[in-house]
């Protein structure tokens, strides 16, 4: 049989291609399936973090900042561990980016604080001399859209089975499902108060105390979650 193939180069080439393709599929698919699953410790974004992610997208932060650390020493020395595909399991859409006018933000939550982000978003050059990033002072006044963020969380929970339910006691049992709108919003406001407590702006603190969450608070919540 193999002698027949050896006498016919075209069919021999097809046979080699089929064998190599089959072997490649057998080798790649199991690893690909494993890597596409959520990495250990990866959690879905909270409603407040999703609201901040929406602000990040709306204001095109991903046009200047990537969220993808490549496996090169020059990048891992600066930004930390290179990105793993499973870390993006709950990202819809991905914000990998293709251009870096500013630094990569994949793990910015590991080395920047709420206070730093507050000052940086208000006046970047005062924090990073020479920075060309504009001021986002309006984020301190604009109110974050929690309803849209909640709708996204609820949708991906239902459609993609994203584990959004809340285990309050840490006993592995669901205490309050995400489906209860008022509870989900109350969690977002609680998280917002924790972030506002570390900020200097009294105006922001007052808004949060009154139940209003400025975009800057939601954005910082999102940036702090990137680790």
Instruction: Scan for tokens 């584990």, then name that residue.
Output: 163
> Domain limits at 125?
47-225
Q: Which pLDDT value is given to residue 126?
A: 95
pLDDT in tens, the chain (227 residues): 666 666 778 877 888 888 888 877 777 676 666 665 777 778 899 999 999 999 999 999 999 999 999 999 999 999 999 998 889 989 999 999 878 999 999 999 999 999 999 999 999 999 999 999 999 999 999 999 999 999 999 899 888 888 887 665 556 666 566 668 888 899 899 999 999 999 999 999 999 999 999 999 999 999 999 99
Task: Report residue 171 as tokens.
Answer: 């006993």
Q: Which pLDDT value is given to residue 32?
A: 63
Would you give the distance in Å from CA 124 to the centre of its chain?
A: 22
Residue 197: which CATH number? 1.10.760.10
Q: Are residues 65 and 12 in the same domain?
A: no
- Burial, 193: exposed, middle or buried (Cβ in 10 Å; 0-12, 13-18, 19+)? middle
Q: Which pLDDT value is given to residue 35?
A: 60
How many domains are contained in the chain?
A: 2
Instruction: Scan for tokens 């969220």, then name that residue.
Output: 67
- The answer to whether residue 41 sits within a structural domain is no
Q: Are residues 28 and 54 in the same domain?
A: no
The runs of H, that is alpha helices, within 41-131 are 47-58, 73-79, 114-122, 124-127
Q: Are residues 148 and 207 in the same domain?
A: yes
Is residue 153 a contact partner of residue 50, using CB atoms and an 8 Å limit? yes
- Report d(CA 59, CA 121) in Å as an integer: 12
Q: What number of other Cβ atoms are within 10 A of residue 104's Cβ?
A: 21
């Amino acid at each position: 049989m193999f002698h027949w193939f050896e006498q016919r180069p075209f069919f021999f080439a097809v046979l080699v291609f089929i064998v190599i393709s089959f072997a490649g599929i057998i080798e790649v698919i199991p690893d690909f399936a494993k890597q596409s699953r959520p990495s250990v410790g990866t959690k879905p974004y909270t409603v407040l973090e999703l609201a901040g992610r929406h602000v990040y997208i709306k204001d095109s932060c991903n046009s200047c900042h990537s969220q993808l650390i490549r496996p090169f020493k020059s990048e891992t020395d600066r930004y930390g561990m290179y990105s793993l595909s499973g870390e993006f399991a709950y990202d819809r859409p991905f914000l990998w980016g293709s251009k870096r006018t500013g630094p990569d933000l994949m793990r910015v939550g590991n080395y920047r604080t709420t206070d730093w982000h507050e000052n940086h978003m208000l006046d970047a050059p005062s924090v990073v001399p020479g920075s060309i990033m504009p001021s986002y002072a309006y984020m301190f006044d604009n109110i974050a859209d929690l309803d849209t963020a909640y709708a996204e969380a609820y949708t991906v929970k239902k459609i993609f089975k994203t584990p959004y339910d809340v285990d309050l006691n840490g006993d592995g049992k669901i205490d309050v499902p995400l489906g209860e709108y008022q509870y989900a919003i109350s969690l977002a406001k609680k998280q917002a108060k924790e972030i506002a407590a570390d900020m200097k702006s009294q105006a922001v603190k007052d808004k949060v105390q009154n139940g209003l969450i400025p975009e800057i608070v939601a954005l910082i919540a999102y940036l702090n979650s990137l680790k």
